């Protein structure tokens, strides 16, 4: 989900707790960010983790108090984030459009659905062959 929120905590690290530098599969350095935000969408005590692979990533300039727009998701109890791309915005718009279409379809079906009526006794024809016994 894409949201804009205020940063309440922000940590940016280039190495793990044991002092080893973060390196990608090509041995290029990257940075790991841990943030907390003001939002009713996720628990306030949870850190959200993201990564910066480029020196010009805007998240490297963030500071506590900034309003940031991020794409967040939960994976096995861990909250993650990344900077949203155009594709992320399109996916979110499409999901919202599908939801609205479904609501409209349900509304139209509900309004146009005639009440089911029980057939009257004289309308039921007995040809003798349709009975299972």
- My answer on whether 41 and 53 are in the same domain is yes
End-to-end CA distance of the chain: 59
> What does pLDDT average to over the chain?
87
- My answer on whether 67 and 22 are in the same domain is yes
Is residue 101 situated within a structural domain?
Answer: yes
Is residue 7 scored above 90 in pLDDT?
A: yes
Tens digit of each residue's pLDDT (9 = 90 or more) over 63-97: 999 999 999 999 998 999 999 999 999 999 999 99
- My answer on whether 56 and 99 are in the same domain is no
Is residue 21 situated within a structural domain?
Answer: yes
Is residue 102 situated within a structural domain?
Answer: yes
CA angle 92, 97, 86 (to 5 degrees): 30
> Domain of 73?
2-82
Q: State pTM to two decimals.
A: 0.68
């Amino acid at each position: 989900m894409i949201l804009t929120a205020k940063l309440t905590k922000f940590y940016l690290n280039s190495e793990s707790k044991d002092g080893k530098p973060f390196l990608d599969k090509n041995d290029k350095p990257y940075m790991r960010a841990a943030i907390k935000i003001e939002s009713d969408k996720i628990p306030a005590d949870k850190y959200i983790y993201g990564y910066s692979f480029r020196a010009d990533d805007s998240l490297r300039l963030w500071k506590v108090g900034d309003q940031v727009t991020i794409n967040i998701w939960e994976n096995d109890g861990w909250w993650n984030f990344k900077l949203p791309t155009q594709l992320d915005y399109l996916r979110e718009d499409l999901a919202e459009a599908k939801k609205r279409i479904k609501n409209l379809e349900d509304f139209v079906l509900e309004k146009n659905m005639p009440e089911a009526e029980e057939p009257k006794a004289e309308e039921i024809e007995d040809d003798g062959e349709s009975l299972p016994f």
